[in-house]
A = this chain, B = another copy of it.
Amino acid sequence: MDFNAELAARSAEIEEIISSFLPETEGYASTVIEAMNYSLMGGGKRIRPMLMNETYKLFGGTSVAIEYFMAAIEMIHTYSLVHDDLPCMDNDEYRRGRKTTHAVYGDAIATLAGDGLLNFAAETALGAFDTDIEKERVGKAVRIMFNKSGIYGMIGGQTADVLAEGKPEEEISEDMLDYIHKKKTAALIEAAMMAGGVLAGVDNVILNTLEKIARNVGLAFQIQDDILDVTGTFEELGKPIGSDERNGKATYVSIHGLEKAKADVEELSNEAIMLLHTFEGDNPFLEELLRSMIYRRK
């Protein structure tokens, strides 16, 4: 398997799937719908829909229903970025080399575009009721996705992040940083892999294992981010290195040191791969994908 060629092919496939679920403009709502589509088609690695789809295939899933959920989880991820970029939150004018949604459409429309994406994610996922898949699986997958994206998941993590922003670095406890990583980053990765499993009909034992794998991967991904901010080069990252340190931002590295950070990435990812091997099925691409997310240089 040429992993990079496979990755490119599957990424292209996902772009097409997401495109096919873009809402159509209509009447006076067209402005907000354009803003939604602008933010949805802003690139990105599409990690969540890809993990969801690969988990689904690992357990033998074949229904088109998965596409509804792949589009929906990317809408949820995108809305969180649109609101996160707002002036009252992180106030970012650029993301992935492109103007952020509020920088193009203004703050009011960007707020509504985020709302629209979250609402449309629900509509899109619920659309899977019209496909050939068992209805119970759709209901269960939607519930998991909205639980992981909500106040006890992603939104909880963003709240902690907002609270941490206002504090000096030394007041950010290990516990708080761990909460932010688990909720803000890992929760939606858990949603992706768990929904993929549920839609393929896995039992609750496997579902719990998927949650554990995804959490490890999400945490390792986030720690690697913090490591790269210290060890990466400008060329690799496409952004200044050491920016967290200069901003006085508490990171996994500033709290635990570089050596422990590296050791923890190793441990978390080894455990994730080990757990993946406990499943009967086999998806070599998924394993490579997990490794590539963790051991990346950018």
Interface residues in chain A, defined as those with a beta carbon under 8 Å from any beta carbon in chain B = 23, 26-29, 31-33, 36, 79-80, 83, 86-89, 106-109, 111-112, 114-116, 118-120, 122-123, 126, 129, 135-136, 138-139, 142-143, 146-147, 149-152, 155-156, 158-160, 162-163, 176, 179-180, 183
Contacts and interface: CB of A to CB of B under 8 A. Distances in A.
Contact of A147 (B28, B83, B123, B143): B123
A119 B157 CA distance: 14
A86 B83 CA distance: 13
Q: Which of A23, A159, A176 has the largest number of chain B CB atoms within 10 A?
A: A159
Most chain B Cβ neighbours within 10 Å, of A32, A122, A126: A122
B32 A159 contact: yes
Nearest to A154: B119
Please give the count of copies of this chain that the complex contains. Answer: 2
B151 A23 contact: yes
A139 B150 contact: no
A29 to B, nearest CB: 3
Contacts of A116: 150-151, 155
A89, A126, A155 — most chain B CB neighbours (10 Å): A155
Given A26-B151, A28-B160, 18 more contacts: A27-B179, A28-B156, A28-B179, A29-B160, A31-B163, A80-B115, A83-B115, A87-B88, A109-B162, A112-B155, A112-B158, A116-B151, A118-B118, A118-B119, A120-B150, A126-B143, A126-B146, A129-B139
